């Protein structure tokens, strides 16, 4: 199994940091195990090189490590609340609250959406294509982004949903409040995204990145702020946040891509996965799911009447 990790800048040796992070995630691994993996070139850096055990982490580092199946822990089911928008015998769509991590990662070994899904569905009733770390998870949204996610109950439906994503047949609609105003009422951002070479914790528009395309519509605005509806044609890490920052309109409250422009301590960015539309790969029924704006949006909107609606919990078409 291959695991991807983002390691911090801590000026410690790579083998020490890797061991600590993996043990925190529940792996029964020793430093000797990690050194062996490094020597066998089973650890890969984002730049395509195989690092030495003694590499000092003088900058944030993204790594991939290949582990044997026996080293992979099974994560515990936890009785956490789930907001289920749609469910049948094949899949479910959940509305993830902001602040909830989707799957276990360093610093978040439990209390994640995956832990809640294991409790609700049981470990044998979720797909395992993405391994023990991400049972059922077909696609992800960031910790501080709220909204809709589709979850697969078995590998067959997981593959079918992944295929729909790859051909852009799952329409994912987001809403965001961003800094600044637009001359146009709609547009697209077509710019490749890859790891930021100056900060490995971030993504950036870069010539060596993967193709990324975001469509946007301006729903409402007031001086200094705009409310957008956004559609994704690709699903790159941090895509909306990176693209909006790239064109000079970062998401309000974004701690990574709106540095120096934070409106207030909002606990994260004002970005919400508001809608999911797709044809069910088994029943062929059209599935249309909606998630109301979270309260933090409403709190912000109350301060700016020109951004308000008669019912702020309705979807973008009502703005």
What are the catalytic residues?
A: 142
Give the residue from 270, 288, 268, 269 showing the smallest Cα distance to 278: 288
For the chain, the residue count is 319
CB 200 within 8 A of CB 232: no
Angle, nearest 10°, between helix axes 31-39 and 14-24? 120
Angle 71-72-75 (CA atoms, 0-180°, nearest 5)? 140
The span from the CA of 96 to the CA of 81, in Å, is 10
DSSP state of 252: T
Q: Is 65:115 a contact under the CB 8 Å cutoff?
A: no
Of the candidates 65, 61, 8, the residue with the CA atom closest to the CA atom of residue 36? 65
Q: How far apart are CA 130 and CA 138, in angstroms?
A: 8
Degrees, nearest 5: CA angle 55-58-63: 60
| Tokens describing residue 280 | 């069910």
């Amino acid at each position: 199994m291959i695991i991807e990790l983002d390691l911090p800048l801590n000026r410690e040796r790579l083998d020490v940091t890797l061991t600590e992070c993996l043990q925190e995630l529940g792996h029964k691994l020793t430093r000797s195990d990690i050194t062996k993996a490094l020597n066998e070139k089973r650890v890969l850096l984002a730049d395509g090189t195989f690092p030495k055990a003694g590499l000092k982490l003088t900058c944030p580092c993204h790594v991939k490590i290949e582990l044997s199946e026996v080293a992979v822990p099974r994560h515990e089911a936890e009785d956490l609340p789930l907001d289920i928008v749609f469910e049948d015998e094949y899949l479910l769509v959940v509305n993830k609250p902001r602040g909830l991590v989707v799957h276990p990662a360093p610093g978040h070994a439990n209390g994640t959406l995956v832990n809640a899904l294991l409790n609700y569905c049981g470990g044998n009733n979720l797909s395992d294509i993405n391994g023990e770390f991400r049972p059922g998870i077909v696609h992800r949204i960031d910790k501080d982004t709220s909204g809709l996610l589709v979850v697969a109950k078995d590998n067959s439906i997981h593959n079918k949903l992944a295929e729909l994503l790859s051909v852009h047949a799952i329409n994912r609609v987001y809403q965001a409040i961003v800094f600044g105003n637009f001359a146009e009422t709609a547009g697209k951002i077509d710019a490749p995204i890859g790891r930021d070479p100056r900060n490995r914790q971030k993504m950036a528009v870069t010539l060596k990145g993967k193709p990324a395309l975001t469509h946007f519509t301006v729903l409402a605005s007031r001086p200094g702020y705009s409310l957008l509806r956004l559609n994704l044609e690709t699903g790159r890490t941090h895509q909306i946040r990176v693209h909006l920052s790239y064109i000079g309109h970062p998401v309000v409250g974004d701690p990574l891509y709106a540095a120096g422009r934070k409106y207030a301590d909002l606990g994260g960015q004002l970005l919400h996965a508001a809608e999911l539309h797709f044809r069910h790969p088994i029943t062929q029924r059209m599935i249309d799911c909606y998630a109301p704006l979270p309260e933090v949006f409403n709190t912000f909107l109350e301060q700016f009447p020109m951004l308000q609606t008669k019912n702020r919990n309705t979807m973008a078409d009502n703005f």
